[in-house]
Every structure is written in structure tokens, then in C-alpha cells.
Amino acid sequence: MTTLHVVRVFVGPGGRGGNPLGVFLDGAAIAAERRQAVTVELGFAETVFVDDIVRGNIRIFVPTNELPFAGHPSVGTAWLLREVGTPVAVLRPPAGDVPVRYEGDRTWIRARPEWVPGAVRIVELGTAAEVAAHPGQEMGEPWLYVWAWKDEASGRLRSRSFPTEYGILEDEASGAASVAMGARLRRPLTIHQGIGSEILVRPHDDGTVEIGGRTEMVEMRKFP
């Protein structure tokens, strides 16, 4: 028996949106060979298993497989570690060291665009209304990310993400795709995704991209 923490990551203005995430702070309580099945059972887009709280060692699973890096799980786990009294300066998923910083109620992580799993097909549409009306795609198709400017001068854009190749019909707030967008546009961004999520993006001169936002606790429950 262990504890599952459920949080919402990249919560937007007024408490809207936020991508649900399951986190096991005692990752060792879930045997490695069970983790994929547990992720499917929980039904979140991603689930994190923290294997070493002090060092920040984490493993990230989606319904179809394990990922070397993912954005909203990294932000959510970093936030949760501070909430339980063990803030970290670095998270260590399989992709590499992910620097962490805390700024008020926002948590930031810094990643390399080449860590983004798979090939995200990024498509710019004409208007934010077209993004909102996009029909999505069938399960199993390559990851599609659609976006349009809401206000190009201020760097505000509207997006939706359909990572159906990973068993996710639509991602409410995609941190990894936001890293890719930061690398592509090379400017500070405020991304409004899903039904109300907000992701802040800050590219750096060394090619890395910071993403940040607000996280909230949803519940804690015993598992299984």
C-alpha cells in the first residue's frame, strides 16, 4: 500500500484547466514491471514514479510506454516535492538533468528540445477560433499540435495537442510541445491550451527552453 498524489499542472486563470497527473513519491512501492499497467489503470495522460526524492530520480509513463522526458509531469512533480518539504534543484528523468526553479506560485523546469518524445507535427492555423474548432484525430495517429496567435505582439497563442500515438486523445496542457514551440519561435510565450490551461515559455540562448506554470493539489489516496 502506498499513496498516490493527484495534481493539476498548468492551471490557468480562475483555476481553469490544468492537466491531471498521478505521482507516486514512493516509486519503489510499485515494481518496475507493474508501472505500465498501473498507468493504464489510473487513466491519466502521464504518471510519475519517484525513485529517489533526494536526487530527483523520476520515471514517466504514458498509457502506451515510458518516456525519457515529459513537461507537465516534470513541473508537477517538482511542485509536489516542494509541497511535501523536499524541494529540488534538479529532476533526473532518463533523458538527462532537468533544472528546476520556484518563483512564487509558479514552478519552472528547463529542458532541451531534442528530449521531446517522437516527432510532433506542429501546424499553424489561421485563427484561435480554428484551433478551438479543430476536430482532433483518430487514436494511433502521429502526434499533432495545432496553434494560432491570439496576440502575436504580446506572444500569446492558443493551442491544442493530440498525442494519439501515445494513447491520449487530447492533452489538456502539453509541456513537451511547449518546449518545442519555444525552440521554434525563439521568444517568450504564453500558451493557452485545452479548456483553460496556461503555460509560460522562456527560450534561452544555449538552446534550452524553460516552461512554467501553476500547479494545484487535487487529492491524495491510498493505492491500490
Q: What is the mean pLDDT of residues 95-99?
A: 98
Measure the CA–CA gap between 112 and 157, rounded to whole angstroms. Answer: 21
Average pLDDT, the chain: 97
188-197 average pLDDT score: 97
Where do the DSSP E strands lie in the chain? 2-11, 17-24, 47-52, 57-61, 66-67, 90-91, 98-103, 106-111, 121-124, 144-151, 156-162, 189-193, 197-203, 209-223
| Cα–Cα distance for residue pair 40/17, rounded to 1 Å | 22
CB neighbours (10 Å) of residue 27? 19
Q: Would you mind telling me the total number of residues written for the chain in this entry?
A: 224
pLDDT digits (tens, 9 = 90+) for 202-222: 999 999 999 999 999 999 999
Average pLDDT over every residue of 127-149: 97
| Averaged pLDDT for residues 122-141 | 97
Report the pLDDT averaged over residues 67-87: 97
Which tens digits make up the pLDDT trace of 163-186?
Answer: 999 999 999 999 999 999 999 999
CB 92 within 8 A of CB 190: no
SS3 222: strand
- Confidence category of residue 85, pLDDT binned at 50, 70, 90: very high
Give the pLDDT confidence score for residue 168 in this predicted structure: 95
| Domain 115-211 -> CATH class | alpha beta
Around Cβ 114, how many Cβ atoms within 10 Å? 12
Q: Which residues pair with 102 in a beta bridge?
A: 107
Quote the CA–CA distance of 107 and 151 in Å, as a whole number.
Answer: 24
Architecture category of domain 2-98+214-223 in CATH: Roll (3.10)
Residue 78, φ and ψ in degrees, nearest 5: -60, -45
pLDDT given for residue 140 in this prediction: 95
How would residue 119 be classed by pLDDT, with cut points 50, 70 and 90?
confident
The pLDDT value recorded for residue 200 is 98
37-59 b/e (C-beta count within 10 Å ≥ 16 → b): ebbeebebbbbbbbbebeebebb
Q: What is the pLDDT of residue 215?
A: 98
| pLDDT, position 96 | 97
Work out whether the CA dihedral 92, 147, 161, 173 comes out positive or negative: positive
Q: Give me the mean pLDDT over the 26-39 stretch.
A: 97
Return the domain boundaries, the chain.
Answer: 2-98+214-223, 115-211
- Look at residue 117 in the predicted model and tell me its pLDDT: 78
